[in-house]
């Protein structure tokens, strides 16, 4: 049986299609959008932790739960030593999914939380940041800029 021109074209199309499918299966994939957003959110929380250390060094304490991260932009009433604003921003940026960050002061330690991709606090994908090395934080540059998103 002789192959016609259309049979050859169909054969080449099938070969290209099979090679494309094979490449899709074995080609290395980059990180998912949620992985990228998670990395960016971790970086933002790290900046906030360094800036909180600046606040503590100037004022002698971390912001209260009531004042939260807003204390970095506007000094709490009656606070001596406040040398802010500590952020080059006009508001506290949300995480990269658009969720409000959660601040809590627990036993004198500031804890920052992002609800993660699912937008719900208290689930497995939450991102939590606490000060890791207070000496490093103390030496961090003052007024570190935050990404605007």
Q: What is the CATH number of the domain that holds 90?
A: 3.30.700.10
The string of pLDDT tens digits covering residues 58-90 is 999 999 999 999 999 988 888 888 888 888 888
- Could you list the residue range(s) of the whole structural domain that residue 128 is in? 29-139
Q: Quick check: is 7 in a domain?
A: no
Number of domains in the chain: 1
| CB within 8 Å of 125: residues ≥ 6 apart | 38, 115, 116, 117, 118
CB atoms within 10 A of CB 7: 11
Q: Quick check: is 105 in a domain?
A: yes
Rounded Cα distance between 65 and 107, Å, is 11
Q: Quick check: is 52 in a domain?
A: yes
Q: Quick check: is 2 in a domain?
A: no
How many CA atoms lie less than 13 Å away from 40 in the CB half-sphere? 18
Rounded Cα distance between 147 and 141, Å, is 16
Q: Quick check: is 1 in a domain?
A: no
Regions of the chain where pLDDT drops below 70: 1, 3, 5-8, 10-18, 20-25, 27-28, 133-149
| CB within 8 Å of 57: residues ≥ 6 apart | 138
User: In this structure, are residues 103 and 95 in contact, taking their beta carbons and an 8 Å threshold?
Assistant: no
Report pLDDT for 36. Answer: 87
């Amino acid at each position: 049986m002789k192959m016609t021109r259309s049979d050859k074209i169909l054969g080449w199309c099938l070969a290209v299609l099979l090679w494309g499918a094979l490449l899709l299966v074995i080609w290395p994939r980059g990180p998912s959008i949620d992985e990228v957003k998670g990395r960016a959110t971790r970086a933002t929380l790290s900046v906030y932790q360094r800036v909180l250390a600046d606040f503590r060094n100037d004022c002698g304490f971390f912001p209260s739960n009531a004042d939260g991260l807003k204390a970095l932009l506007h000094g709490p009433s009656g606070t001596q030593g406040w040398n802010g604003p500590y952020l080059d921003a006009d508001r506290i940026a949300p995480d990269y999914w658009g969720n409000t960050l959660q601040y809590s002061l627990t036993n004198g330690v500031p804890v920052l939380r992002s609800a993660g991709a699912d937008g719900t606090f208290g689930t497995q994908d939450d991102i939590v940041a606490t000060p890791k090395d207070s000496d490093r934080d103390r030496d961090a540059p003052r007024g570190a800029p935050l990404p605007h998103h």
